[in-house]
Amino acid sequence: MLDFVISNIRIAGRDRPLDIGIKDGRIAALDADLVSDGPHEDMCGCFAFGGFVDSHIHLDKACILDRCRICEGTLDEAVRETARAKAAFTVEDVHARARRVVESAIVNGTTAMRTFVEIDPRAGFRSFEAILEIKRSYRWAIDIQICAFAQEGLTNEPATAAMLDQALGEGADLIGGCPYTDPDPQTHIRWIFDLAERHGVDVDFHLDFDLDPANSAIPMVIAETRRRGYSGRVSIGHATKLSAMPKEAASDIAARLADAGIAVTVLPATDMFLLGRDRDYLVPRGIAPALLLAAHGVTVTAATNNVLNPFTPYGDASLGRMANFFANAAQLSRDDDIATAFDMVTRNAARLMRRPHGLDLGAPADIIVLDAADPLSAIREVRQPVAGWKGGRKTFTRPRARLLYPEG
């Protein structure tokens, strides 16, 4: 009856290795010692899960170090340099760079991602067109959500609002705003929510991206989320101001975010690269206190954000590596906290994107196998993926490194 069996895998919450039976692209059986005449693939007791989920990445402006200068390493410089570069983006250029990152994400075990795509008078619809094609052509391996994104303001450039409106009618899945680059952040936030309501889509803000605890935009986003009945449909990225507040103040905001149903994404690679540039010693880490947020019931995720550009001149779209980087920077040590770091790049990120996740009976057979015994060793040791399936079809293999001992 089964099409094939992935045998001898470990999954979270089960003590003994199991077999997964696949039928018509779905998980049809999950048991020890499954009996089936179909093909078997022995996974040697490795850990399997539903795949990494990247809740925040910018495919359109990845891999542009060849055309940008980084002198200061500040946020202002990154926005400025990228704005200059994107005026010259072509559809083919964006497609080629995005493809490189998506293929790296796939072999690093990512099965879903949310990408921001800048749509404004400089980018036109060229990046959007390229990323729509990437979404379509890689559907066999990864589900991509497209967030139409106003990186450079709205009230200062109202043409952008009309372009975002058009993109939401032509295949964008949700809308993203960036109040800190707008001269009128409050109106920016309202306009983004207006567009979201008009199209019935979710909202994702880049927010509070500095280390000054004053003038947070979070209260405004909470108020608009409540006023419009948008609980569970709003997320914010960076929120690094929270890292500059005393614990009591951050806890107060955490409780209000949880109550409003607003998710928070930390972007450790970017936050640590761009912030604290005014300091030449004891440079702050500048990462929002994700564990504190999680303790108050906020859905927290960690994500890639940028790859090889002035916002983050590093990266390989590996979320196992990013979770390890986050855990190290956030000084996590307890097993429970490392488990939270794993959740931040898997099921929490899936919840933020409002998609199912997990190896459940009847679920699509989206399965990633890591060369690890469990999620803790996966994060602590940055264990590599060895194979992946999407809808029951094998999407990649990644053979283990093999030592060539001398004779004897």
DSSP letter for each residue of 153-177 = -STT-THHHHHHHHHHHTT--EEEE
Least separation, in Å, of the C-beta of 216 and Zn ion? 18
Residues 44, 10: Cα–Cα separation, whole Å = 9
Nearer to Zn ion, 6 or 172 (CB): 172
Least separation, in Å, of the C-beta of 326 and Zn ion? 15
Q: Which residue has the tokens 């990186």?
A: 151
Nearer to Zn ion, 127 or 305 (CB): 305
Nearer to Zn ion, 243 or 305 (CB): 305
Which one, of 137, 148, 178, lies nearest residue 60 by Cα? 148
Least separation, in Å, of the C-beta of 209 and Zn ion? 9
Residues 175, 165: Cα–Cα separation, whole Å = 9
Residues 326, 320: Cα–Cα separation, whole Å = 10
CA distances from residue 123 to 25, 61, 97, 164, 325 in whole angstroms, order as listed: 38, 10, 15, 12, 32
Residues 398, 310: Cα–Cα separation, whole Å = 30
Least separation, in Å, of the C-beta of 111 and Zn ion? 20
The answer to whether 145 touches 173, Cβ cutoff 8 Å, is yes
Nearer to Zn ion, 108 or 305 (CB): 305
Nearer to Zn ion, 305 or 395 (CB): 305
Least separation, in Å, of the C-beta of 58 and Zn ion? 6
Class of residue 333 by CB neighbours under 10 A (exposed 0-12, middle 13-18, buried 19+):
exposed
Q: Which residues, including other chains, have CB under 8 Å from residue 245's CB and lie 6 or more apart?
A: 213, 253
Ranked by CB distance to Zn ion, the top (closest) residue is: 305
- Contacts with Zn ion by CB under 5 A lie at 305
**Structure-block tokens of residue 39:** 């093909």
Tell me how crowded residue 24 is: count the other CB atoms within 10 A of its CB. 10
Report H helices in 21-90: 75-86
Nearer to Zn ion, 138 or 209 (CB): 209
Least separation, in Å, of the C-beta of 222 and Zn ion? 20
Least separation, in Å, of the C-beta of 188 and Zn ion? 16
Which residue type does 293 have? L
Nearer to Zn ion, 27 or 63 (CB): 63
Q: Which residue has the tokens 């409050």?
A: 186
Least separation, in Å, of the C-beta of 359 and Zn ion? 30
Nearer to Zn ion, 116 or 191 (CB): 116
